Amino acid sequence: MKSDAARRARRLRQLGIYLLMAMVLVVMLFPFYWMVLTSLRSQVDNTSPVPVWLFEPTLENYRNVIRGNDFLEFTWNSLVIAALSTGIGLVFGLPAAYSIARFKQNGLALAILVARLTPYITYLVPWYLAFRALGLIDTYLALTMTHLIVGMPLIIWIMISFFEDVPVELEEAAYVDGASRLGTFFRVVLPLSAPGTVAAAILAFIFSWNQFLFSLVLSGPNTKPVPVAVFNFISYGQIDFGGLGAAAVLITLPVVLLTLMIQRWIVSGLTMGAVKG
Amino acid sequence: MRRVVSGFVLVAVVVATGLATAQEFDWQRFQGDDVRFLMNRHPFTDFLEPLVPEFEELTGIDVTLEIFPEDQFRQRRLLEVSSGAATLDGYMVMPGQVGAQYLGADWIRHVDDFVEDPSLTSPELDLEDFFDGALSTFQSNDGLFGLPLQIESSLLFYREDLFEEAGLEGPPETLEELRQYAEALHSDQVAGFAMRGRGAAATSQIVNLLYSFGGQWQNDDGSSALASEESQQSLSYYADLLRNYGPPGPANLHWNEVMSLYAQGQAAMVFDANVFRSIVEDPEQATDVVRENTRYAPLPEGPGGSLPAVLVWGLSVNQASDSPEAAWYFIQWALSKENQRQALLSGVPAARESSWQDEEFQATAPESWIQASRESFNRGQPDWNPPVVPVAEVRDAYGQAIVAALQGQDIERALDRAAQEIDRIVSRTQ
Amino acid sequence: MRLPASPIKMLKRSSDFFDRNAQWLFPLPAVLAIVVLILGPVLANFAISLHGWFIGRPPTYIGLQNFSDAFTDRRFWNGVLNTFYFTMVAVPTQLLLGLAVAVLFNREFPGKGFVRTIILLPMVATPVAIALIWALMFNPSLGVLNYFLESVGLPRSLWVADASLAIPALVMVDVWQWTPMVALILLAALQGIPGEFYEAARIDGATGWQAFRFITLPTIRSAIIVALILRSIDALKTFDIIYVITSGGPGIASETLNVFAFKAGFEFFRAGYAAALLIFLMFLVLGIAILLNLLRTGRR
Query: What integer pLDDT is reported at residue B15 of this predicted model?
Result: 47
Please name every residue paired with B305 in a beta bridge, in sequence order, or none if there are none: B302
Beta-strand runs (E) in B90-228? 90-93, 108-109, 139-140, 143-144, 147-159
> Amino acid identity of B294?
T
Q: Do A239 and B256 touch (CB under 8 A)?
A: yes
d(CA A108, CA B166) in angstroms, rounded, equals 75
Give the least confident one: A59-68, B190-199, B307-316: A59-68
Q: What is the pLDDT of residues B152-167, one digit of tens each?
A: 899 999 999 999 999 9
Q: How confident is the model at residue B430 (pLDDT cuts 50, 70, 90)?
A: low
Q: Does B252 touch chain A (CB under 8 A)?
A: no
Cβ–Cβ contact A267 with C under 8 A: yes
Q: Which pLDDT score, from 0 to 100, does residue B20 have?
A: 45
How many DSSP H helices and E strands does chain B contain? 21, 10
Confidence of residue B16 (pLDDT cuts 50, 70, 90): very low
* Chain A residues touching residue B41 (CB < 8 angstroms): 236-237
Residue C255 has pLDDT above 90, yes or no: yes
pLDDT tier for residue B363 given thresholds of 50, 70 and 90: very high
Give the pLDDT of residue C6: 59
d(CA A206, CA B206): 45
d(Cα A80, Cα A141) in Å, to the nearest integer?
Answer: 10
Q: Which residue among C27, C132, C181 sits closest to A95, beta carbon to beta carbon? A: C27
What percentage of residues in chain B have a pLDDT greater than 70?
94
Contact yes or no for B250/B206 (Cβ under 8 A): no
Whether B143 contacts B108, CB under 8 Å: no
* pLDDT, position C77: 96
Measured at the CA of A193, the angle between CA A191 and CA A194, to 5 degrees, comes to 65
pLDDT value at residue B242: 96
Smallest CA–CA distance, residue B387 to chain C, in Å, is: 16
Question: Residue A69 has what pLDDT?
Answer: 67
Question: Which CB contacts under 8 angstroms, 24+ apart, belong to B2-11?
Answer: B2/B32, B5/B32, B6/B30, B6/B31, B6/B32, B6/B33
Task: For residues C29 and C32, give the distance between their C-alpha atoms in angstroms, rounded to a whole number.
Answer: 5
Of the ranges A166-175, B40-49, C202-211, the best mean pLDDT one: B40-49
Angle at B215 between CA B210 and CA B216, to 5 degrees: 100
3-class state of residue C194 by DSSP: coil
| A213–C119 C-beta distance less than 8 A | no
CA angle (B135 as vertex; C56, B52 as ends), nearest 5: 80
Q: How close, in Å, is residue B68 to chain A by CA atoms?
A: 6
Q: Is the confidence at residue A49, as pLDDT, over 70?
A: no
Instruction: Specify the pTM.
Output: 0.85
Residues of B whose CB is below 8 A from C266: 75, 78-79
For residue B314, give the nearest of B69, B91, B68, B79 by alpha carbon. Answer: B91
What integer pLDDT is reported at residue C61 of this predicted model? 93
Range A50-57 average pLDDT:
76
State the smallest CA–CA distance between residue C3 and chain A in angstroms: 26
For residue B66, the cross-strand partners are B38
Chain A residues within 8 A of C15 when measuring between CB atoms? 180-183
Distance CA B210, CA B234 (A): 5
> How near does any CA of chain B get to the CA of C59, in Å?
10
Percent of chain C with pLDDT over 70: 94
Q: Give residues with Cβ within 8 angstroms of C198, minimum separation 6.
A: C211, C215
Q: Spell out the alpha helix ranges (H) of chain C.
A: 7-20, 22-25, 28-34, 40-48, 65-72, 74-105, 112-124, 127-138, 144-151, 166-190, 195-203, 208-211, 217-236, 240-245, 257-266, 271-298
Instruction: Give me the pLDDT at residue A268, please.
Output: 64
Cβ burial A98-136 (10 Å sphere, 16+ → b, else e): bbbbbeebeebbebbbbbbbbbbbbbbbbbbbebbeeeb
How many angstroms separate the CA atoms of A52 and A48, rounded?
Answer: 7
User: A71-80, A152-161, B22-31: which has the minimum mean pLDDT?
Assistant: B22-31
Q: Is the pLDDT of residue C48 over 90?
A: yes
Q: Given phi > 0 = left and psi -120 to 50 = alpha, else beta, which region is A178?
A: left
Q: Is B426 on the interface with C (CB under 8 A)?
A: no
- Across-strand partners of B156? B271, B297
DSSP code, position C215: I
Q: How far is residue B332 from each of residues B90, B144, B146, measured CA to CA in Å? A: 12, 14, 10
Residue A270, pLDDT score: 62
pLDDT at A236 > cutoff 70: no
The helix (H) or strand (E) run that includes residue A98 is helix A71-103
For residue A1, give how far its alpha carbon lies from the nearest alpha carbon of chain C (Å).
Answer: 24
Segment A238-269, tens digit of pLDDT: 567 888 889 899 999 999 888 887 776 666 66
d(CA C287, CA C283): 6
User: What percentage of chain A exceeds 70 in pLDDT?
Assistant: 89
> Confidence band (pLDDT; 50, 70, 90) for A77?
very high
Contact predicate B73/B39, CB 8 Å = yes
| Burial classification of residue B151, based on how many CB atoms lie within 10 Å of its CB (0-12 exposed, 13-18 middle, 19 or more buried) | buried
Sequential DSSP letters for A205-249:
HHHHHH--HHHHHH--TTT--HHHHHHTTTT-SS--HHHHHHHHH
Q: Say how many CB pairs under 8 Å bridge B and C.
A: 76
Residues 6+ apart with CB under 8 A from A254: A209
In this complex, do B82 and C140 lie within 8 Å of one another by their Cβ atoms? Answer: no
Instruction: Report d(CA B34, CA C18) in Å as an integer.
Output: 51
Handedness of CA B137, B138, B143, B144 (dihedral sign): negative
- Using a CB-CB cut-off of 8 Å, the residues of chain A touching B280 are none
Please tell me the distance from the alpha carbon of residue B290 to that of residue B294, in angstroms, as a whole number. Answer: 6
For the segment A154-185, what is each residue's pLDDT rounded down to a tens digit?
Answer: 899 889 888 988 888 888 888 888 888 888 88
Mean pLDDT of chain A: 85
Report, as an integer, the average pLDDT of B118-140. Answer: 90
Strands (E), B42-146: 62-68, 90-93, 108-109, 139-140, 143-144
| Res C4: pLDDT | 54
Amino acid at C264: A
pLDDT digits (tens, 9 = 90+) for B190-224: 999 999 998 888 998 999 999 999 999 999 888 99
Cβ neighbors of A237 (< 8 A, separation 6 or more) are: B41, B69, B256, B279
Contact A231 C244 (CB under 8 A): yes
